[in-house]
Amino acid sequence: MIAIIDYGMGNLKNVHKALQSIEVESIITADPKVIGQSEKVILPGVGAFKDAIHTINASGLREVIDESAYSEKPFLGICLGMQLLFENSYENGSYKGLGYIPGDIVKLEVPLKVPHMGWNTLEIVKHEPIFEGVPNNSYAYFVHSYHMEGAEGMISAYTTYGKRFGVAVQKDNIYGAQFHPEKSSTVGLQMLKNFASL
């Protein structure tokens, strides 16, 4: 069973539907007990970093999220959920993240339209288990104005949009994707299938 953490700011139904389509059992939940008992955890997210980390800290979910991340259970952060895994964010201020991945979330400074929205390629540099069966330069779907910086030695995929930057990261049992696997057609479904089989 995969717990999709509901802290009020996620693309929950799309993630749930994507998992249903590949016949993987999941539950959308804000119940710490259910999250704690789950085999795997997905932390989705859409919106502002400040609001998300405040909501997580105020909701009583922080403790079980920390426990899940520091256990051996597979843990996947998607989009804003991935950004929350980092130590700091500089989105409209300076905010402490969950701190599982060393590095920062910074504004995407490129001579192109921001947010970076739509399909772009994945330059896979480390074939982690989550990329099993995903060809290099496959397309994934992005919507973001901030990106990761740091995470030395932990970045598993990059994209290029005005500049090259990391869009997938792994540290032990923790995985992060700046793009949306649940919106990335067969490539994204393959990644979710891989995550489910970890």
Q: List, by residue number, the catalytic residues.
A: 79, 180, 182
Q: Please tell me the distance from the alpha carbon of residue 106 to that of residue 149, in angstroms, as a whole number.
A: 7
Other CB atoms within a 10 A radius of the CB of residue 197 amount to 12
Triad 152, 54, 5: Cα angle to 5°? 75
Alpha helices in the chain (DSSP H): 12-21, 32-37, 49-59, 62-70, 80-83, 185-196
Beta bridge partners of 129: none
Q: Which residues of 88-123 are buried (b: 16+ CB within 10 A; e: fewer)?
A: bbebeeebebbebbebbbbebeeeeeeebeeebbbb
Q: Between β-strands 146-150 and 174-177, what pairing exists: parallel, antiparallel or unpaired?
A: unpaired
